[in-house]
Homo-oligomer: A and B are copies of this chain.
Amino acid sequence: MPTIIVTLIGIMATVFAVSSSIPQIIKSIKSKKTDDVSIWLVIVLIIGLGLWVVYGIGINDLVILIANSIAVAINTILLILKIKYSKDPIS
């Protein structure tokens, strides 16, 4: 595969992965319901993304660092919504 195409696929993969929680945030704000969303999904994801941030620092890769920092911020919003709008948050 040509390098430019591989790089483009990598960038697209990052954009999709980072932005995947945005529709969930929009839905949660609109419905004010997050009962069926697992808080462990969000917590495990934030830990994983946080480790990617550390990894980005470790290998001095600014793309990994910035993309995952944005993803941590987005999923922290989702975590707040989960706790705020859930009858039983720890579920």
- Interface residues, chain A, with chain B CB atoms under 8 Å away: 1, 5-6, 9-10, 12-17, 19-21, 23-24, 26-28, 31, 33-38, 40-41, 44-45, 47-49, 51-52, 54-55, 57-59, 91
Contacts and interface: CB of A to CB of B under 8 A. Distances in A.
24 contacts: A1-B58, A5-B58, A6-B55, A9-B58, A10-B55, A12-B48, A12-B51, A13-B51, A13-B54, A16-B44, A16-B51, A17-B45, A17-B49, A20-B44, A23-B44, A24-B38, A24-B41, A26-B38, A27-B38, A31-B36, A33-B36, A34-B36, A35-B36, A36-B37
A51 B8 CA distance: 10
A69 to B, nearest CB: 13
